[in-house]
Amino acid sequence: MNEEDKKELMEEFKKGDGAKRLDLWDYALAQQVLWENIIAELQRIAHEQGVDKELDKRMEEDMKGME
């Protein structure tokens, strides 16, 4: 969802009646669950491949460089 889509959704919510608002709310919650599941799957794959450890190492190095 890009910024324009987000603005349009917010305007629809503001102008909508109770049923329309409930539909938009349900849609947003469904999207949240979808993205939480995608993130969880990405984290699982990264952990299996050891990518998460490499990222942690890089972040530590970056933080040390900022001190």
All structural domains of the chain with their residue ranges:
3-66
pLDDT in tens, 9-22: 999 999 999 999 99
For residues 45 and 51, give the distance between their C-alpha atoms in angstroms, rounded to a whole number: 8
pLDDT in tens, 42-55: 989 988 998 878 88
* Percent with pLDDT over 70 in the chain: 99
For residues 14 and 64, give the distance between their C-alpha atoms in angstroms, rounded to a whole number: 46
**Cα distances (Å, whole numbers) of residue 16 to 8, 10, 34, 42:** 12, 10, 24, 35
